[in-house]
Amino acid sequence: MVEMIETARILNTATPRSLVILDEIGRGTSTYDGISLAWATVEYLHQRVGCRTLFATHYHELTDLAEVLPGLRNFNVAVREWRDEVVFLHKIVPGAADKSYGIHVARLAGVPRVVIDRAKEILSQLEDEHQLTPLSVVPDQAKAQPAREVQLTFFEAVDHPIVEEIRDLDLTQYTPLMLFDKVRDWQEQLRAERKPARVRRPR
């Protein structure tokens, strides 16, 4: 709430002569809400206010706005990777960052090694299974430039017997009690299929 109150005050009082500095708008909510709020804030400052703004974000999808908003430029902190290590060069360079370094920062901060190793495993799995594609451009910009036909899809659809059963289910043929039993059966089946994640023990 504090972040949103501060953001609201900035958006309601900023003028073309303002210098606005915003850091990680939307980080305190869900992925979809966070991206949506950050995205709309960038658009508002660019299209309605027109002031100079420094906007730091961890949402890579927002960097695509530089292709449709003429006054927007991407910059990132230069880093160098060497033998699974990351060295921050303390230099700001043009362009968007090609990846995040949150796990590396966590390691530098002293997070236990077992947590770092497990986080790398989870990250690898998420990158393989769930692709977050860029959002479509805003309607106002779509009039001036053609929008790419892309949409935010965090989880890909998964074929599963239960999903097919739900699609084909005729709700008019079931009483509330029958539906309760049905959902309970599905829940038990899914729990049985769940496999516990393996965690490496610290050496």
User: Average pLDDT in the 103-117 region?
Assistant: 87
Half-sphere exposure of 109 (CA within 13 A, CB side): 9
Q: How far apart are CA 34 and CA 25, in angstroms?
A: 7
pLDDT score of 201 more than 70: no
Report the largest interatomic distance among the alpha carbons of the chain, rounded to a whole angstrom: 65
Structure-derived torsion over alpha carbons of residues 178, 159, 196, 99, reported in degrees to the nearest 10: -130
H-helix segments, the chain: 2-13, 31-44, 102-109, 113-129, 139-144, 161-168, 176-193
Within 10 A of 31 (CB to CB), how many other CB atoms are there? Answer: 13
Q: Is 138 helix (H, G, I), strand (E, B) or coil?
A: coil
Confidence of residue 130 (pLDDT cuts 50, 70, 90): low
Confidence of residue 9 (pLDDT cuts 50, 70, 90): very high
How confident is the model at residue 86, as a pLDDT? 79
Count CA within 13 A, CB hemisphere, residue 116.
16
DSSP state of 47: I
Please tell me the pTM assigned to this model.
Answer: 0.57
pLDDT at 200: 53
- Confidence (pLDDT) at 202: 52
What is the spatial distance between Cα 159 and Cα 25, in angstroms, rounded to a whole number? 35
pLDDT for 36-58, tens place per residue? Answer: 999 999 999 999 999 999 999 88
